[in-house]
Amino acid sequence: MPRGRIRARLRWSHLYTFSCYKPSATEEGPHSIEGHGHSRVVHCNQPLMHKKKPFKYRSNYISTTKYNFITFLPKALYEQFHRVANLYFLGAAILSLTPLSPFSAVSMIAPLAFVVGLSMAKEALEDWRRFMQDMKVNSRKVKVHKGEGVFGNKSWQKLQVGDVVKVEKDQFFPADLLLLSSSYEDGICYVETMNLDGETNLKVKRALEITLPLDEDEAFRRFTGTIKCEDPNPSLYSFIGNFDYDRQLFALDPSQILLRDSKLRNTAFVYGVVIFTGHDSKVMQNATKSPSKRSRIERKMDYVIYVLFSLLLVISLISSIGFAVRTKYYMPDWWYLQPKNTDDYYDPEKPGVSGVSHLVTALILYGYLIPISLYVSIEVVKVLQATFINQDIQMYDEETGTPANARTSNLNEELGQVDTILSDKTGTLTCNQMDFLKCSIAGTAYGVRSSEVELAAAQQMANDLEDRDAERSTCSRQKGKQQEIELETIVSSKDEKDHKSPIKGFSFEDGRIMKGNWLKEPNADVIMLFFQILAVCHTAIPELNEETGIYTYEAESPDEGAFLVAAREFGFEFFKRTQSSVFVRERYSASGQAIDREFKILNMLEFTSKRKRMTVIVRDEDGQILLFCKGADSIIFDRLAKNGRIYEEDTSKHLNEYGEAGLRTLALAYRKLDESEYSAWNSEFQKAKTSIGTDREVMLEKVADMMERDLILIGATAVEDKLQKGVCVILALFL
């Protein structure tokens, strides 16, 4: 493998949205980025120029702590006296220093100092742990160009703007980088942005074509360039800048930017130049200061303190009023108190002063109605709980080797306080592990295995049947037996094997179309077209596992990976991609021999959340131009031709069944194109692609929509997003 590169021979290989040609710097033109908010200048591979103004930027050192040695005492005290109880005890401690206090001031100050000191010590410990985590991140190593084409390890915190770095597979990006090249020849790389936006699907980034030759260490010996771009800002999905390189100016966009804290996946290595460091990086721009987190119990305790203080005030007022009355009317008769020689606090002629002074004394005396020890107990319990959480073996993730980490113990009691269950598709209830489970082809449903949702519902139905009264009527017994028979067909897959498919991403079972048996089906030609769409309509890259001899796929999403694995198991193995073609090996054919077919990629319109569909236009070996499309059923059905709705009714019924079973569905369709029709459309498409203006995306969408019409429905797929452990049990309770 020369120079350690992946020799897939991919040169701008149609992997990008609306891509069908080599991008160049002149098509969009460089952005006009002069003015406020766009003043950053980065001298690539010249970090020494950034040590003096106006090019002196922040270091790559980051800190997420709440305090430092100077601010800890004032900030921590401010936090502690946000508590109502602490404010009350502080007031009581101050009053205990006056002559009105019924006992020593130490008895009030010592408990308060202990409670506040313990809480501050806990805050200091947790902030110290944050500091240690920051130091661990800041001390990570990355390869940096040191000069003369030599790369050496350097800690993250010592990185500077302009440094050229080499990031290897499964490493995090140490700063915001401009992608220069990658191990793939067309300069693409796959990035996991889970730490930024929670998405587990991989994102594709691509380098400018002009920097693709910078594919090895030696190539950076004389590399220089200048980046002019926007100032630091928190927008993760936008970037405006120009790259001045080799006496040419190139426009930059977010597809060339690698953000800090995202991870390089499925790519051996990438080269990049540092643009934003430390707290200037977009992820740190989005980070907020560690807030003062207070749990519901603590807020409820404040309410209890208000109630207790009100009760204390009422008791003290009653006591003080009684004392003032007795001082005025009864004290003159108490000769043993010598009222003529008394001070103002016990002067019968000043009962109001006596009452107020007694009120202060009563508040201190009855102050133990508010339990200061309760706060001590809660603080100790929280610290111990956080320790137990960190050591809980059941919260240890064996796959990543990550234990639980309680960064703060203030919210321990919030754990497990489930009020509302919200289901979504981002991994809250699911593992984001897709398995091809069922499909509908030419109006016929295939796939006999049941989903986890169906099994959970079936189990709940079985439990309900067992709990029925044994003395049911004969009619009820017959009905129950009929239900049990229907239930048996669902539970059978669990009772028979209850095993997970050994093939990751493929849990399909149906002998009618497995192992080449689809050739015997009535609609074999439609089934073959269905499998071809699965094997061709995607953006993935194949990788051969030399140990097993099986191809695995680097896909942007787990759904796409599951489709390719399914196509491979059905006998349509995607095994090679070039700059303009996709190659599929068909293991089963009428002749009985494997056939390698080439599909030339003419255009590819990628799947987006707005389009909800993906289309690829190919030319097969017979010269026929075909449009393959997959997408949401509502989108596909609206674009069907009159003669393309033969299987619509049956497919809709199957889609509803798959949806009720908790499966994720996509509809598949195709269209045959005439040469003249395609040429006319492609001309319009190229014109929209090379246009300059704010309405460019609108024009592209309009032109794409013109082609994605008059489709012929073939079928639909159903994949299962595996549920997290224990979710099936919860789900069964709600069914």
Q: Which two tokens stand for residue 493?
A: 């897959």
Which of 59-68, 123-132, 197-206, 289-298 has the lowest average pLDDT?
289-298
- What is the CATH class of 517-728? alpha beta
Query: Which residue ranges make up the annotated binding site for Mg(2+)?
Result: 424, 426
DSSP secondary structure, 517-567, as one string: GGGGSTTHHHHHHHHHHHHHSS--EEEEETTTTEEEEE-SSHHHHHHHHHH
Which of 77-86, 324-333, 487-496, 623-632 has the lowest average pLDDT?
487-496
pLDDT tops 60 at residue 479 = no
Contact 688, 680 (CB under 8 A): no
Residue 673: the pLDDT is 93
Q: Which two tokens stand for residue 656?
A: 């509803």
Which of 15-19, 165-169, 331-335 has the lowest average pLDDT?
15-19
**Is 117 or 496 the better-scoring residue by pLDDT?**
117
What residue spans define the domains of the chain? 40-45+141-286, 375-419, 517-728
Exposure class string for 126-142: b at 16+ Cβ within 10 A, else e: bbebbbeebeebbeeeb
pLDDT tops 60 at residue 561 = yes
Residue 18: the pLDDT is 41
For tokens 């596909």, the residue is: 636
Which of 341-355, 437-451, 486-500 has the lowest average pLDDT?
486-500
For tokens 């494997």, the residue is: 594
Average pLDDT, the chain: 80
DSSP 25: H
Query: Can you tell me the distance from the alpha carbon of 527 to that of 522, in angstroms, rounded to the nearest whole number?
Result: 9
Q: Please give the share of the chain, as a percent, with pLDDT higher than 90.
A: 28
Report residue 396's pLDDT band, with 50, 70 and 90 as the boundaries: confident
**What are the strands, taking DSSP E only, across 201-262?**
202-206, 225-229, 241-245, 248-252, 257-258
The residues carrying an active-site annotation are 424
Which of 210-224, 242-256, 470-484 has the lowest average pLDDT?
470-484
Residue 532: the pLDDT is 94
Which of 413-427, 506-520, 588-602 has the lowest average pLDDT?
413-427
Residue 358: the pLDDT is 82
Residue 144: the pLDDT is 94
Residue 97: the pLDDT is 82
Q: Please give the share of the chain, as a percent, with pLDDT higher than 70.
A: 81
Residue range 614-635: mean pLDDT, rounded:
93
Report residue 574's pLDDT band, with 50, 70 and 90 as the boundaries: very high
Residue 734: the pLDDT is 47
Question: Which among 160, 172, 145, 152 has a CA at the least distance from the CA of 42?
Answer: 160
Query: Can you tell me the distance from the alpha carbon of 450 to that of 456, in angstroms, rounded to the nearest whole number?
Result: 10
Which of 323-332, 581-590, 690-699, 703-712 has the lowest average pLDDT?
690-699
Over residues 277-304, the pLDDT tens digits come to 999 999 898 887 766 666 777 778 778 8
Which of 71-80, 280-289, 467-476 has the lowest average pLDDT?
467-476
Residue range 14-41: mean pLDDT, rounded:
50
Question: Which among 181, 162, 125, 137 has a CA at the least distance from the CA of 42?
Answer: 162
Residue 25: the pLDDT is 39
Report residue 14's pLDDT band, with 50, 70 and 90 as the boundaries: very low
pLDDT tops 60 at residue 517 = yes
**pTM greater than 0.85:** no
Query: Can you tell me the distance from the alpha carbon of 539 to that of 465, in angstroms, rounded to the nearest whole number?
Result: 48
Residue range 294-323: mean pLDDT, rounded:
84
Residue 12: the pLDDT is 36
Report residue 106's pLDDT band, with 50, 70 and 90 as the boundaries: confident
Over residues 108-134, the pLDDT tens digits come to 788 788 888 888 888 888 889 889 989
pLDDT tops 50 at residue 487 = no
DSSP secondary structure, 346-412, as one string: G-TT-HHHHHHHHHHHHHHHTGGGS-HHHHHHHHHHHHHHHHHHHT-GGG-BTTTTB----S-STTG
Report residue 467's pLDDT band, with 50, 70 and 90 as the boundaries: low
Tell me the C-alpha to C-alpha distance, in Å, between residue 351 and each of 347, 475, 619. Answer: 7, 90, 105
Tell me the C-alpha to C-alpha distance, in Å, between residue 615 and each of 203, 215, 534, 560, 712. Answer: 18, 32, 12, 13, 13
> What does CATH list as the number for 40-45+141-286?
2.70.150.10
How many Cα atoms are found within 13 Å in the side-chain-facing hemisphere of 279? 9
Residue range 464-475: mean pLDDT, rounded:
58
Query: Which residue ranges make up the annotated binding site for ATP?
Result: 424-426, 560, 607, 630, 664
Over residues 140-171, the pLDDT tens digits come to 999 999 888 899 999 999 999 999 999 999 89
Residue 429: the pLDDT is 65
Report residue 172's pLDDT band, with 50, 70 and 90 as the boundaries: very high
Query: Which residue ranges make up the annotated binding site?
Result: 424-426, 560, 607, 630, 664
Whole-angstrom Cα Rg for the chain: 36
Tell me the C-alpha to C-alpha distance, in Å, between residue 49 and each of 45, 54, 147, 220, 306. Answer: 10, 10, 15, 17, 60
Query: Can you tell me the distance from the alpha carbon of 396 to that of 390, in angstroms, rounded to the nearest whole number?
Result: 9
Report residue 718's pLDDT band, with 50, 70 and 90 as the boundaries: very high
